Structure formats: C-alpha cells, structure tokens
Structure 1
C-alpha cells in the first residue's frame, strides 16, 4: 500500500535522532497513515498540521499521541494550538492575530516549549482588540474570575 500524505499536508521541520530515518521516504511528509513511523524515529519540532478541517487535525493529533505513548511524551516534541472561531486560515469571530514563529524558535533553539500563545481579535470582529491565550490541546482557556474579560492575562490554560 502506498503512503501518500493527506491533501494539503505539510511537515515543516523534522529533527531525527535515528540516522537511518533521515533517509526514510516515510518522513518526507507525515500523514495520518505514517504517524507511527515518524513518532518512532523523529522529533517534530515545528508546526506540522494538515491544512484541513479541525476534526481531521484533532484525529491526526490523537493518532500521533497514541503512537508516541501518551500526552506527556507527545508534548516533548509536538503541540497543537487550536483557534476557536477562526475560519480556514484566518478571519471569522476569533482572536486570529498571533505570532507562532517566536515561540517555535524559542522551543527549537532554547528548549522552551510554548505553554500558551497570545492571540488578538482584529478590527472587524465583534470585539476588536480582545486578547486570549491559545492553549496546547487538550487544554482550554478559562477565565480566572477576576480582571478584564477582554485581556489574555485574565485567563489560564487548564484541562477541560
């Protein structure tokens, strides 16, 4: 059976610990069908998310988590940040303005994995300027009970 990636899927950066894996055709792109191959020999150190529907992405991430041995093991090399309300690439009633490059560089170069990413709502949303934390799945942003409901500082990432 041929291992073809999901349409629109792109793996950006792989850091392989096992030299034979560097030449392996299975890690040229990672799809739901090749997740266990990648998890067995590579650390995914960059965003490697299929450009598809949210449920497909969640399914892929759950398969990756199972192949890696659990949430704790997966969090060592991959994190999924969902953006509630965001359309396919941007827009929608969402806090869809955020910088993922800076936290990614800090993770890859300094070993500091992102615990949250601050996002802002654009001028055309119902709440221009609102900020929220984007949390690594499965954690979700929860209001602390005090402070402005419009600022990310009033929220914490917690288990659902």
Structure 2
C-alpha cells in the first residue's frame, strides 16, 4: 500500500484532509451505522489509544492580531490498523473514544481506492450536508436576532 504522505501530488492529501475532517465531526452513532455496511467483516486493531487529553486553543484579536492562549479543549485521538494493513488516524474534540476509533477506522478504509467512492458518497457527503444544514440553521437563528444600528446626524453639525 502506498504511503499517502509521500505522494508528490497534493490533490489526494487535500481530499484525505477533507475526509478526515468529516469523520472527526461526524456523530459516533452515524459512523458506527455506516461501518456496519461499509466496513463489514473487517478487523480493526488498535495501534494507539483511543486516549483523551487536552490541547491549547489559541486565538487572535480581530483575526490578525497577536496570538493569545484562549483556553484548553479536550480531545481524543486514536490510531488503528485494518486487517489489510491500512493505518488510520483520528483526533476528535471531546472525550468520545468510540467516535475517535470509528473516525480512525474510516480514515484507514478511505485509503483503499476500491472503497473510496462509496465512503465519499455514503459518509463524507452526508456529514458535510448535515454540517452545512446545521450552519445554515445557526445563521438563520442569528440573523433573526440581528439589530441594525445606525447613526443619525444632527442638523447643526
């Protein structure tokens, strides 16, 4: 199996980053259900974890100012191997070990070119659609509470 990180073509690594991001943001129940149909019969072995810890979240004032430490966030990471030797990695926000394990398993399965199209269609596209829908709902809720402020000029100025 070819090592994706040594591939000189940047497109596969960008596609993998997109897929890994979707796996990390997906619900554990959704990933488990999808694994039942797509990963059926495959053995998932643990290489590392899942293990939980903390990462420092950094921010910038105004989006471009000097960085500052905003606070800490809980994360869980996992590395797994499939029975065919493929290795997958995942890091998810929170302390959900099951979600991290399934996300890592899907990362490993995604690297199998024969499975990639089905995973993109059945998992990645569904997760991205759900995230876009949640974002649109959040935006509409925020828009409903928007207040337009304006400044009135006085005539004598």
The normalised TM-score by structure 1 is 0.24
Structure label with greater radius of gyration: 2
The normalised TM-score by structure 2 is 0.25
More strand by share: 2
More helix by share: 2
